[in-house]
Structure 1
Amino acid sequence: MSAARRDAEEKRRRQVVTPEGVPLDIVLATRGSRLLALILDYTFISLTIFLVTVALIFLGINLEKLDQLDSGGGEFLLVLFIVSLFLLLNGYFIFFEMGPRGATLGKRMVGIRVAARPQGQSGERLTAEAIIARNLLRQIEIFLPLSFFSAAGEGGAGSAWIVGSLWFAVFMLFPFFNRDALRAGDVVAGTWVVEAPRRKLADALSLHQGTQADAAPAYRFGNEELSVYGEYELQQLERVLRDGDDKTLEAVHAAIVRKLGWQAGSGDEREFLEAFYTALRAKLEGDMRFGQRKADKYAEAER
């Protein structure tokens, strides 16, 4: 890595504190990577709309002539299509960003994800409300000024075109006027976008050590021990295993062992954390198959 690139990355580096009180460095996504992810996402959305339109035409449904039908069925289908289009444009982002990866398909391809912006130095959990807020505001940032452009196109360039251009410019340039490259939706929702490098966790975070597939797990955890944490802590533990240094691993290891009531050892912190991560993830995924979710260590399991 060149010195210039390293300096640029250091400027984007921030520190948050995990639920166990351990400081962890993260790197904010660049403006370029966020733009590329947005372009990819809208490419996927546009392709979906195109395929649906082609399918409707194949079935003999012409969207342009639905409102010309005598019966109310045509108007109903047209309204249904418009509502579906709205849900697709917004639901796509909300659905994927509410997932455990906190990233749309475009963000995953670029290697970035949405995260809760800490208030002060304390880490926060990414909530559904924050995801919905940051994405609904995109209607104001992008689609509302486009309506001004549409009006200007019908009546010629005029005040509507000027208003639309200014509106669009303000929101598009907003990330360049704050140090964390936040768009207006991030400011309102309390989120930011961070890098999520594609690095495999050691040994695929397997409980099986060594080269033998049938080797016995080094650690075993009971249901009561795994119930002390939830999905948020699982995500934080994954981040620690992926990005944390030896001191961070030692601190997290000591905190978890203390939480479980075990006696802390030394020298096998990563092995312990990988085993705990794998067991906790298996438990949470198993619970979800039965309709039970545990958001974090403070929440009770929800159906």
Structure 2
Amino acid sequence: MSAGKPRRARAPNDTRRTRTLVTPEGLQLPIALAPRGARAGALVIDVLIIFAVLIAVQLMLVWMLTGMLEGTDFDPDQLSRGAAEFLGIVLTLFVFCGWYGYFLVQELGPGGATFGKRIVGIRIAARGQARLTPEAVIARNLLRDIEIFYPLIALLILTVSAEAGEEVGVLAWVLTGWFGLFALFPFFNRDALRAGDIVAGTWVVERPRARLATVLSAQGAAAAAGASEVTGARYEFGEAELSVYGEKELQTLERMLRDARPEALQAVHATICRKIGWDPGAGDERAFLEAFYAQLRAKLEGDMRFGKRKADKFS
């Protein structure tokens, strides 16, 4: 199977950033917290993208509507006060929707990451056993403005006022302290959480890009022919059953089969059976999972040869 060169994750022996993520199904998966520099870089990239898109859209609208507005109340050369206020409200709503929509839509998606986060290889995830909820994503994004952008905008306004000769007093120092406190907040806790992460119950973790892992070396016949050495049962899955998962889930199953304890495999077995509508009973979980892994892998690799790729169960 040919694929692009995978992006390597950071060394797994960096125990300072290694944590265990407990999924809603009770599975324990090792993760690596995103470096603080990567988080800052992702935010800078996202802000640049938002500004570029907003400016481009506004310029395009002005270019398209300039001729259409001549002779109306919105004619730029004869713009009334009421029309100017209305256009200001529309512009404010447009910027508001563009700013918050950019973060919310992407982070609420299956990848849990904006374009900036995808570029640097990180994503957000829920701490504890909870799923990542819309409430958590909204909370952490609203808090970001309070932590960073509101004091920055206020400082910019005060700077302009000071340049015009107005007295700004100690307010500039208060805002500087506000910004500095929240900007340095991730350095004050071992999980590199900002205030928004604490309120929302989220982590920012590494999101390594990797192709399918090396084929699992499993001894059971289930890995090759679908037959269990324990019960003799043959597990053969159809297109519908194998289509519910993608590469991400395959890699997770790979790690579980290599390292997980029997009780963890039982939880994975129950989750997959519930998802595909099977009820094979208990006692033969590893053979079932080996068969499912082998057949899912074969399907995904076969699809790749024809240019079809399923990144995860949401694709």
- Given the two structures, how large is their TM-score scaled by the length of structure 2? 0.68
Q: What is the match of residue 26 of structure 1?
A: 31
Q: What is the match of residue 155 of structure 1?
A: 161
- 2:57 paired with 1:52: yes
- 1:24-83, CA deviations, whole angstroms, 9 ceiling, x for partnerless residues? 11111010111111111111111101211321332355xxx9798215233212111111
Aligned-residue CA RMSD (Å):
3.9
Name which of 87, 96, 103 aligns with 1:86: 96
Tell me which structure has the larger Cα radius of gyration.
2
Question: 1:115 aligns to what SS in structure 2?
Answer: strand
- 1:253-278, CA deviations, whole angstroms, 9 ceiling, x for partnerless residues? 54344554326264674551465698
Tell me the percent identity.
40
Q: What is the match of residue 15 of structure 1?
A: 20
Q: What is the match of residue 219 of structure 1?
A: 236
Q: What is the match of residue 280 of structure 2?
A: 262
Does 253-262 or 183-192 show the bigger shift?
253-262
Tell me the distance in 2 between the aligned counterparts of 1:244 and 1:257: 11
Q: Judge conservation of contact 2:139–2:196 (CA < 8 Å) in 1.
A: yes
- 1:132-183, CA deviations, whole angstroms, 9 ceiling, x for partnerless residues? 1100112211221023213312331642321221111011001010110011
Q: Judge conservation of contact 1:16–1:23 (CA < 8 Å) in 2.
A: yes
Distance change (3 Å), C-alpha of 1:193 and 1:66? farther
Question: 1:182 aligns to what SS in structure 2?
Answer: coil
Q: After superposition, where does 1:1-303 map in structure 2 within 5 Å?
A: 6=11, 9-59=14-64, 69-70=79-80, 72-118=82-128, 123-156=129-162, 158-202=169-213, 219-220=236-237, 237=249, 240-241=252-253, 244=256, 246-248=258-260, 253-258=265-270, 259=273, 260-262=278-280, 264=284, 266=286, 269-270=289-290, 272-273=292-293, 275=295
Question: 2:131 aligns to what SS in structure 1?
Answer: coil
Tell me the distance in 2 between the aligned counterparts of 1:275 and 1:80: 54
Tell me the distance in 2 between the aligned counterparts of 1:284 and 1:8: 30
Distance change (3 Å), C-alpha of 1:237 and 1:48? same
Question: 2:184 aligns to what SS in structure 1?
Answer: helix
Question: 1:59 aligns to what SS in structure 2?
Answer: helix
Question: 2:260 aligns to what SS in structure 1?
Answer: helix
Q: Which protein, 1 or 2, shows the higher relative CO under an 8 Å CA cutoff with sep ≥ 6?
A: 2
Residue type at the aligned position of 2:31: I
Q: How many corresponding residue pairs?
A: 258
Structure 1 unaligned segments of length 5 or more: list them. Answer: 211-217, 287-303
Deviation at 1:15, TM superposition (A): 1.1
Structure 2 unaligned segments of length 5 or more: list them. Answer: 1-9, 67-74, 163-167, 216-222, 225-234, 301-309
Does 184-193 or 194-203 show the bigger shift?
194-203
Distance change (3 Å), C-alpha of 1:143 and 1:201? same
Tell me the distance in 1 between the aligned counterparts of 2:99 and 2:198: 21
Question: 1:14 aligns to what SS in structure 2?
Answer: strand
Q: Judge conservation of contact 2:12–2:18 (CA < 8 Å) in 1.
A: no
Question: 1:193 aligns to what SS in structure 2?
Answer: strand
Does 15-24 or 248-257 show the bigger shift?
248-257
Residue type at the aligned position of 1:167: W
Distance change (3 Å), C-alpha of 1:7 and 1:276? closer
Q: Which structure has more helix as a fraction of its residues?
A: 1
Residue type at the aligned position of 2:159: G
Q: Judge conservation of contact 1:114–1:192 (CA < 8 Å) in 2.
A: yes
- 1:93-148, CA deviations, whole angstroms, 9 ceiling, x for partnerless residues? 11100000000011111111100011xxxx22000100011001122112210232
Residue type at the aligned position of 1:261: D
Distance change (3 Å), C-alpha of 1:251 and 1:269? farther
